């Protein structure tokens, strides 16, 4: 199915518009009318959950290698763009650093930060949730965890956006920005690593620098390739999720009251809102051999997008897919991907989201969008540039 031949695609001209759509569920519902959605000669997207799960479980056929997506990097990002068997070796090093027990230990620190951020606006009766909460919370947690100076945050956010959201309407316009930004990222971390060699520290970056793969320590290039990915993911995806969660809850008071009334609902609510919003709506792969999806041919070397947001609301595979049930159980969503490349930082993301929802709703249980607000979601990854909320000011004392 070609994009210019599908009148039911809810107004989209490119797949990147799914993230920016006011209702991405309506867009993906239309796309699922066919198992494969094709844009141009060498780019297609898989739309249905069963097919997406098959592709996630088969990295030999649907590779996550550097050919899948160009982010300006000159070497594969580790571990995202490394397929098995070498991928497994890197995950053995990195997975323990982000294990559930390790992330659970961060809860008091995260709760303290959440409340300090809320202190800055709780008595004013309004805030820009994006700039005052959704950005600084996960960014501060991540920079502290990895051991980077908080005063570098603005620079790192600029670098992250230069990769994820570069200016330009077309890939041809964006590629030079990505390439130049990537070189700046490499230079930044080359300097960081050189300083760490002279003055060792005790943080996540130090543990990565001391890690071994097959009995040998990681090279500086390997460390750079890990850090490049960390900055892109660690400074964006939780922000995206917080934007989506609070925008939804600001417009759905019955669900917001459900969280306030019973905090035990929050863990399942996080999973359901991840499923419903799918802040990372798609992941990229490249076909390594000719194959087919639902009878539609996919050629070797073709870029393939796996529409996670579509899989998460596929009513042929998810009972009640188009209803939000904050107590849904089980909830086997694909918001963190699946297979060997399942998101490395999923346990950290869950911890931050759970604590954020709990602490925020303890102090500000009732809020809504500021009058006149029109939400404008970003393309690529589903986020907001601004999220103005209004609420009853918190009383002194």
Instruction: Give me the pLDDT at residue 5, please.
Output: 31
Contacts of 80 (CB under 8 A, 6+ apart): 64, 229, 341
Active site residue 171: no
Its pTM stands at: 0.94
- Which pLDDT value is given to residue 169? 82
217 is written with which tokens? 């320590």
Residues 6+ apart with CB under 8 A from 121: 127, 132
The rounded distance, in Å, linking the Cα atoms of 219 and 191 is 15
**Average predicted confidence (pLDDT) for the chain:** 93
Report the distance separating Cα 230 and Cα 246, nearest Å.
Answer: 24
Taken in order 141, 145, 149, 155, is the CA torsion positive or negative? negative
CB 384 within 8 A of CB 376: yes
- 170 belongs to the catalytic site: no
Catalytic-labelled residue, pool 31, 345, 353, 384: 345
Q: Which residues pair with 54 in a beta bridge?
A: none
> What is the separation of C-alpha 257 from the centre of its chain, rounded to a whole number of angstroms?
26
How far apart (Å, rounded) are the C-alpha atoms in residues 223 and 221? 5
49 an active-site residue? Answer: no
| Backbone phi and psi for residue 38, each to the nearest 5 degrees, phi listed first | -110, 135
Q: How many CB atoms lie within 10 A of CB 6?
A: 16
Most confident of 4-8, 104-108, 211-215: 104-108
Listing from the earlier edge strand, what are the strands of the sheet with 303-306?
Answer: 36-38, 43-46, 303-306, 283-287, 62-63
Catalytic residue among 343, 348, 353, 384: 343
Burial of 293 (0-12, 13-18, 19+ CB in 10 A): buried
Q: Which of 51, 83, 225, 236 is catalytic?
A: 236
Side-chain half-sphere CA neighbours of 65 within 13 A: 16
Residue 3 has pLDDT above 90, yes or no: no
Tens of pLDDT, residue by residue over 92-112, are 999 999 999 999 999 999 999
- Per-domain residue ranges for the chain? 3-389
Alpha-carbon distances, residue 35 vs 44, 98, 298 (angstroms): 10, 35, 12
Please give the CATH topology (third level) of the domain spanning 3-389.
Cytochrome p450 (1.10.630)
Give the model confidence (pLDDT) of 48-88 as tens digits. 999 999 999 999 999 999 999 889 999 999 999 999 999 99
Render 34-78 in DSSP notation, one character per residue. Answer: SSEEE-SSSEEEE-SHHHHHHHHT-TTTEE-SGGG---S-SSPPT
Residue 73 CB neighbours (<10 A): 22
Q: Provide the β-strand partners of residue 384.
A: 377
- Region 183-197: mean pLDDT is 97
* Catalytic residue list contains 237: yes
Selecting among 259, 274, 306, 344, the annotated active-site residue is 344
Q: Reply yes or no on whether 344 is catalytic.
A: yes
Residue 146 structure tokens? 């990895």
Per-residue pLDDT tens over the stretch 104-160: 999 999 999 999 999 999 999 999 999 999 999 999 999 999 999 999 999 999 999
**Predicted local confidence at residue 110, as pLDDT:** 98
Dist. CA 253–CA 366, nearest whole Å: 8
| Spatial separation of the C-alpha atoms in residues 373 and 369, rounded to whole Å | 6
**DSSP letter for each residue of 121-143:** TTTTTEEEHIIIIITHHHHHHHH
Catalytic one of 54, 147, 165, 203: 165
For 7-46, what is each residue's pLDDT tens digit? 223 333 445 579 999 999 999 999 999 999 988 788 999 9
CA distance 208 to 348: 17
Q: Where are the beta strands (DSSP E) in the chain?
A: 36-38, 43-46, 62-63, 126-128, 212-213, 216-217, 283-287, 291-293, 296-298, 303-306, 367-369, 388-391
């Amino acid at each position: 199915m070609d994009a210019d031949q599908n009148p039911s695609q809810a107004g989209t001209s490119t797949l990147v518009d799914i993230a920016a759509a006011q209702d991405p569920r309506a867009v993906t519902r239309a796309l699922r009318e066919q198992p494969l959605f094709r844009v141009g000669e060498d780019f297609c997207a898989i739309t249905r959950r069963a097919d997406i799960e098959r592709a996630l479980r088969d990295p030999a056929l649907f590779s996550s290698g550097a050919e899948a997506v160009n982010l300006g990097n000159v070497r594969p990002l580790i571990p995202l763009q490394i397929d098995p068997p070498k991928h497994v070796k890197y995950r053995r090093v990195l997975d323990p650093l982000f294990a559930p027990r390790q992330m659970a230990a961060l809860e008091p620190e995260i709760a303290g930060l959440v409340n300090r951020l809320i202190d800055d606006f709780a008595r004013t009766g309004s805030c820009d949730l994006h700039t005052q909460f959704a950005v600084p919370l996960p960014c501060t947690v991540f920079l502290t965890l990895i051991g980077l100076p908080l005063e570098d945050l603005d620079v790192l956010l600029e670098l992250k956006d230069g990769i994820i959201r570069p200016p330009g309407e077309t890939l041809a316009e964006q590629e030079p920005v990505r390439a130049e930004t990537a070189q700046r990222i490499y230079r930044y971390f080359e300097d960081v690593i050189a300083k760490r060699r002279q003055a060792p520290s005790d943080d996540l970056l130090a543990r990565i620098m001391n890690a071994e793969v097959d009995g040998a320590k990681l090279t500086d290039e390997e460390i750079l390739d890990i850090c490049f990915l960390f900055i892109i993911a660690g400074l964006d995806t939780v922000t995206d999720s917080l934007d989506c969660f609070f925008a939804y809850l600001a417009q759905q008071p019955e669900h917001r009251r459900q969280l306030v009334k019973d905090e035990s609902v929050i863990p399942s609510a996080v999973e359901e809102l991840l499923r419903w919003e799918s802040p990372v709506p798609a992941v990229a792969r490249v076909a390594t051999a000719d194959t087919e999806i639902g009878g539609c041919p996919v050629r070797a070397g073709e870029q393939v997008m796996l529409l996670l947001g579509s899989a998460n609301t596929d009513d042929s595979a998810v009972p009640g897919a188009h209803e939000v049930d904050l107590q849904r159980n089980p909830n086997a969503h694909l918001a963190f991907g699946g297979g060997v490349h399942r998101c490395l930082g999923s346990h950290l993301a869950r911890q931050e989201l759970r604590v954020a929802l709990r602490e925020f709703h303890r102090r500000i249980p009732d809020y809504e969008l500021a009058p006149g607000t029109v939400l404008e979601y970003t393309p690529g990854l589903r986020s907001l540039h601004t999220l103005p909320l209004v609420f009853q000011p918190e009383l002194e004392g």
